Amino acid sequence: MLTAAGSLAVWTVTSSARPDAAPAPVPPAYVAQVRSTTLATTQRLTGDLRHPALATLTARSAGTLTAVPAATSEPAPGDVLFRVDTSPVVLLGGSFPVWRDLSQGAKGEDVLQLERNLADLGYFSRVPDEEFLEPTTEAVKKWQKAIGVSETGVVSQSSIVFVPEPARVGSTSTALGAVVDASTVVAALTTRMPSVAVKVPLAKQALATVGSSVTVTLTDGRTTSGSISSVGQPVAEAGKQSDSGGQSVSDRFVPIEIALTDLAQLGAVQEGPVAVDLVGERHENVLAVPVDALLAQPGGGFAVEVVTDGATRSTVPVTTGLYEDALVEVSGEGLAEGTTVVSAQP
């Protein structure tokens, strides 16, 4: 603007410029904090919760079943499993099978197992060994008297069953009063503790290592923990059909067994399908951000927007690691636990 004051001309300039505006705060709903955590890759597979088989009980002699075991019962060493013509068949502990009658003069692993059982039941006071001598005969007679059979001092092959671990009657096959021969199946014994069987695809066999921790999810959503107790050799299973002619092709898998470490979580559930999460690669004490905090960069790679003072943003390139659900492992200059980053764009 030009003004006149005598002979003096003065220009007055009016400007529209204003001081720089402060950056707008980032709404709390759009930020997250970098956290220090443990991330792991997992593979979810279907498993089968059940009691693994231990032994198949046959009648062992011909006659009529005069007593049968109850399904889900848990017989202990020394208990009568069933009776044929009132003669008892007794459960004893041991992994070596019964293959002969045992009497004075016999030697072997089966004698050692017999003496260990007699000692545990209170009938044999010597140190068990593999020789069936006079003290063994006397102990057998005491035991025979207790179970109500003739005190012969001879243990017939048909009167005992050796089982290697605590047993449970899984199912019965023959009814009370049935006429049987020696090979008739009476019942099936299983382990007392349920476990989970899983078929791991051959391509994922690196996940199947003994001792690895797993998570088991029941059909009602409850979870329990476990660890891989055994890993089998790859096997083939007929399943899929070929594209061309309906011929069956084989899928190869690695069978694994999972021992459960928190049986209380099962409640009344003893069998059925379950989901099993196998843990693969595991990184502990790493920095992680929500996956949606990652920004793809024009030249490749990723960055995050770091927020300071609630509003000021700066882009920090990051290197990503493991992904787990909605989190991703990151590392980058200046990032630390508690650093604020933009996790979604307002």
Q: pLDDT tens digits for 13-45?
A: 344 445 555 667 777 668 899 999 999 888 999
Look up residue 231 and give its amino acid.
Answer: V
Residue 242, pLDDT above cutoff 90: no
Higher pLDDT, 246 or 227: 227
* Measured distance CA(269)–CA(277) in Å, rounded: 19
Please check whether residue 2 is in contact with residue 11, taking contact to mean a CB–CB distance below 8 angstroms: yes
Among 26, 33, 36, 28, CA closest to 293: 33
263/339 Cα distance (integer angstroms): 41
Query: 28-39+283-342, which class in CATH?
Result: mainly beta
To the nearest 10°, report the CA torsion of 323, 329, 332, 335.
140
pTM of the model: 0.69
> pLDDT tens-digit profile of 172-197?
999 999 999 999 999 999 999 999 99
Angle in degrees, CA 209, 210, 212, rounded to 5:
75
Residue 279: which pLDDT band, with cuts at 50, 70 and 90?
confident
Residue 128 has pLDDT above 70, yes or no: yes
Question: What is the structure's pLDDT at 193?
Answer: 93
pLDDT of amino acid 259: 96
Q: Residue 69's pLDDT is what? A: 96
What is the pLDDT, as a whole number, of residue 61? Answer: 96
**Does residue 240 surpass a pLDDT of 90?**
no
Q: How many CB atoms lie within 10 A of CB 80?
A: 15
Residue 346: predicted pLDDT: 53
Domain 43-50+194-282: which CATH class? mainly beta
pLDDT of residue 17: 45
Q: pLDDT exceeding 90 applies to what percent of the chain?
A: 77
CATH architecture of the domain with range 66-191? Orthogonal Bundle (1.10)
As a whole number of angstroms, the distance between CA 196 and CA 272 comes to 9
Residue type, 230: S
Separation between Cα atoms, residue 229 and residue 260, nearest integer Å? 9
Q: Where in the chain is the domain with CATH 2.40.420.20?
A: 28-39+283-342
The DSSP symbol for 344 reads S
Q: Rounded CA gap, 58 and 89, in Å?
A: 10
Where along the chain do the CATH 2.40.30.170 domains lie? 43-50+194-282
User: β-strands 160-163, 87-93: how paired?
Assistant: parallel
In sequence order, which ranges of the chain are alpha helices (DSSP H)? 109-120, 134-147
Q: Where in the chain is the domain with CATH 1.10.101.10?
A: 66-191
pLDDT, mean of residues 47-74: 96
CB 333 within 8 A of CB 298: no
